[in-house]
Structure 1
Amino acid sequence: MDTRRSLYREEDVDRLAARARGRRSSAVVASEAISWGEPVLPSAISTVSGGRLYYRGVDAVELAATATLEDVATLLWDGAWTPPAYAPRPEGRAPISAAFTALAERAAGDVASSGLGPWQLRSEAASVLGCIADAMLGVSAGPLHVRLADSLGRRAAADVLRRAVVLLADHELNASTFAARVAVSTGASLSAGALAGLATFAGPRHGTAAAAVLALALDIGPHADQPGDGLREWLGEGRVIPGFAHRLYPRGDVRAEALLAAIEVPSSFSKLALAADDLLGDRPNVDFALAALAAAYDLPPHAPVTIFALARCVGWLAHMLEQVASGQLIRPRARYVGPAVTGGSGPLA
């Protein structure tokens, strides 16, 4: 036995680590929690545990085998609801642009979320989901994944789109979900909260990341036989390789694995994934899978963001319902790092 080594029970190490964390100031803990840190508020909606994603305790990957987005809404909203009637999308509008406009017009006059009961909130949530779906999809009736397939002109893709929207419906306290919860914590309407979520979602580091993966695949096209060369060029230019790795899934994004297993992945994407694994040691995340899905079915350029936004709206609404029920205002403090504060008698301690 190597006497230089010390062996400890895992639970003892965890206890000591927790004790050390407990000695840190509340300011430090709060600051670290904002960026991929410790959980900052309680939620019974979804969690990533042991490398798996769960919706109210149900494995999301297993759920995606048969469930619809409507089924997931019933689960996450914790109660039955009635889907509203559909309306056509205005012609000539990009789906995401139409969703912004529809939500903004609605948020200007909708009732406050505070004071509504559970049944009223679910009814309002259904109406907001219908508003977004109508704005982005319109054109046909039926389950949301069928309407989505029709709006993209690919009815044959309906089942794989069903899987995709189920897998993307919620993902803990991501940036857009947090924005939606903050909005309704003030008493704002659910449509206002959805608008806040959509605005946050639209950033390239969140809901529109799949577009960067499509751009990468197109850019390294000349390196189709040796995609690693194309990736090295990207890295050499100081660019981040999009579509790979996720901090919550150190062994690989299970959503991506499930979605990629359901489609015939284009060879260019398969080679890209192998090259990234060899060069970076990273596996595809769900943004890569969305881009591969779009390429596999030759979907329009707006397809990844449309699929993602429609799905995630269900999660935003679930979190908003939970936040309204809590009655709590989300109001964190800023850790001031600016110039010294001065008062009437000089610098303050």
Structure 2
Amino acid sequence: MPSADWIAAEDARARLGVRPQTLYAYVSRGRVQVRPDPHDPRRSLYRAADITALTQRKSRSRKVSDVAAGAIAWGEPVLASSITTVAGGRLFYRGRDAIKLAETETLEAVARLLRGGHGAALKRTERPASPHAPDMRSRAFLALAQRAGIDPPAKGRAALALAVEAATLLDVLTDAIAGEVGGGAIHNRLAMAWGLGPGGPGADLIRRTLVLVADHELNASAFSARVAASTGASLSACALAGIATLSGPRHGGATQAVQTLAAEATQQGPRQAIANRLVEDRALPGFGHPLYPDDDPRAAALLDRLTLPADLAALQQAVRAVTGLAPNVDFALVAISQGLKLPADAPFALFTVARCAGWIAHAIEQGQSDSLIRPRARYVGPEPEFA
């Protein structure tokens, strides 16, 4: 029988009042520790103290400062926005279903939609050569940094001028990823840079990916872009803030963690790799998402268009069987890159180009609000010396 410190899944779910997928999501995010049942290794036990803490957090009445602090971490919205929302397990760009948009639209069209623009595309052709660097990530940082150093502040600029700058900024970033200045649709330019023919199935899958990753509400990088925009910074400076935040292992860098898990599964076998991580209280990157209790619709829409490499297919099936978690968009980015035989850093490159459309939209919207994002700190340091 389980001890008082560790409880079975049925008891844990009953105390929390959640479904199995939600319990597994808590585990994958490190909020609940789990270990194998010593009497039945096919079952897992969950730390009772973690379940109690979650239950109390859900039920207790909190002070304003506590509510505000909690809102920073997967809490209630802290900023009003008309750009993107997740509702009913689906993703919407300005009220339009992102999955449906991915059937027909390009990243450029969705970028205009996100920033509230309509009509014909606006693009400048005067663009510098792509920065010289050995990898796509470095070139992306360099390109945005170079623009951020010379572009004027966004505050006080006319809407048309910002629209032209926004379209050009996407081109500049695409040039950096592709390694050369080019023309045509962004997905075709990336496809050609990565050895795929323009207009083919591979290019179309890249197009769908770019559309579905373009924005995702107030994620960490979008919030960073908005903070920069609230000071009046240029669009390129806001995008630079966005990519700096995206690079972290808990955001766009999560695709590298997915690749590590996939390598472990190949070496040890999927179920053993999963078991090792659960026993060591380590997450399963690429699976589950706090905003989608069931399936991440972006991942499902993309994986439906791809024949998974055998090792990733085996990993997906094993994770579903053991934890009930479905793949998220990080797993899909890795699967697409492997399936299309793209460069090793293509998952981050795809994420960066696509999400830049969202950063720009959030920067423009924040600039229109004319308010500075400047939260107060809840000071917990030494007592001030009023001498």
**TM tier, smaller:** 0.7 to 0.9
Q: CA deviation at 1:238?
A: 4.0
Give the aligned partner of residue 194 of structure 1.
239
How do 1:5-154 residues align onto structure 2 when only pairs under 5 Å count? 24-80=62-118, 81-85=121-125, 88-139=129-180, 140-154=182-196
Tell me the distance in 2 between the aligned counterparts of 1:169 and 1:150.
Answer: 21
Give the aligned partner of residue 175 of structure 1.
220
**Secondary structure of the residue that 2:288 maps to in structure 1?**
coil
Q: 129-138 or 56-65: which moved more?
A: 129-138
Which one of the candidate residues 283, 287, 303 is aligned to 1:244? 287
Give the conservation status (yes or no) of the 8 Å contact 1:51–1:249. Answer: yes
Tell me the distance in 2 between the aligned counterparts of 1:110 and 1:88.
Answer: 17
What is the identity percentage for the equivalent residue pairs of Structure 1 and Structure 2? Answer: 49
Give the conservation status (yes or no) of the 8 Å contact 1:138–1:147. Answer: no
Give the aligned partner of residue 27 of structure 2.
none
**Secondary structure of the residue that 2:378 maps to in structure 1?**
coil
Q: With the length of structure 2 as denominator, give the TM-score of the two structures.
A: 0.80
- What amino acid is aligned across from residue 116 of structure 1 in structure 2? R
Give the conservation status (yes or no) of the 8 Å contact 1:255–1:285. Answer: yes
Q: 1:259 to 1:114 in 2, by over 3 A?
A: same
Tell me the distance in 2 between the aligned counterparts of 1:295 and 1:202.
Answer: 20
Q: 1:343 to 1:92 in 2, by over 3 A?
A: closer
Q: With the length of structure 1 as denominator, give the TM-score of the two structures.
A: 0.88
- What amino acid is aligned across from residue 147 of structure 2 in structure 1? R
Tell me the distance in 1 between the aligned counterparts of 2:308 and 2:220.
Answer: 29
- Alignment RMSD (CA, Å): 1.9
Q: 87-96 or 50-59: which moved more?
A: 87-96
Tell me the distance in 2 between the aligned counterparts of 1:210 and 1:175.
Answer: 16
Give the conservation status (yes or no) of the 8 Å contact 2:239–2:359. Answer: yes
**Secondary structure of the residue that 2:307 maps to in structure 1?**
coil
Which one of the candidate residues 209, 216, 222 is aligned to 1:164? 209
- What amino acid is aligned across from residue 174 of structure 1 in structure 2? N
CA deviations on 1:102-152 (whole Å, 9 max, x unpaired) are: 211221221111111221221221222222112112444210000111122
Give the aligned partner of residue 261 of structure 1.
304
- What amino acid is aligned across from residue 231 of structure 1 in structure 2? I
Tell me the distance in 2 between the aligned counterparts of 1:30 and 1:323.
Answer: 20
- What amino acid is aligned across from residue 81 of structure 2 in structure 1? S
- What amino acid is aligned across from residue 148 of structure 1 in structure 2? L
CA deviations on 1:320-345 (whole Å, 9 max, x unpaired) are: 0100111110001111111223323x
Give the conservation status (yes or no) of the 8 Å contact 2:288–2:328. Answer: yes
Q: CA deviation at 1:312?
A: 0.1
Give the conservation status (yes or no) of the 8 Å contact 2:296–2:326. Answer: yes
- What amino acid is aligned across from residue 57 of structure 1 in structure 2? G
Q: CA deviation at 1:74?
A: 1.5
Give the aligned partner of residue 258 of structure 2.
213
Q: 307-316 or 261-270: which moved more?
A: 261-270
The reply on whether 1:336 has 2:336 as its aligned counterpart is no
Give the conservation status (yes or no) of the 8 Å contact 1:154–1:299. Answer: no
- What amino acid is aligned across from residue 215 of structure 2 in structure 1? D
Q: 1:95 to 1:25 in 2, by over 3 A?
A: same
Tell me the distance in 2 between the aligned counterparts of 1:185 and 1:116.
Answer: 14
Tell me the distance in 1 between the aligned counterparts of 2:316 and 2:382.
Answer: 48
Tell me the distance in 2 between the aligned counterparts of 1:295 and 1:284.
Answer: 15
Tell me the distance in 2 between the aligned counterparts of 1:179 and 1:282.
Answer: 29
| Structure 2, gaps ≥5 residues long | 1-57
Q: CA deviation at 1:23?
A: 6.9
Give the conservation status (yes or no) of the 8 Å contact 1:87–1:138. Answer: no
CA deviations on 1:9-59 (whole Å, 9 max, x unpaired) are: xxxxxxxxxxx9997432122111100000001000000001000000000
**Secondary structure of the residue that 2:104 maps to in structure 1?**
coil
The reply on whether 1:203 has 2:263 as its aligned counterpart is no
Give the aligned partner of residue 12 of structure 2.
none
The reply on whether 1:311 has 2:351 as its aligned counterpart is no
| Structure 1, gaps ≥5 residues long | 1-19, 345-349
Aligned residues: 323
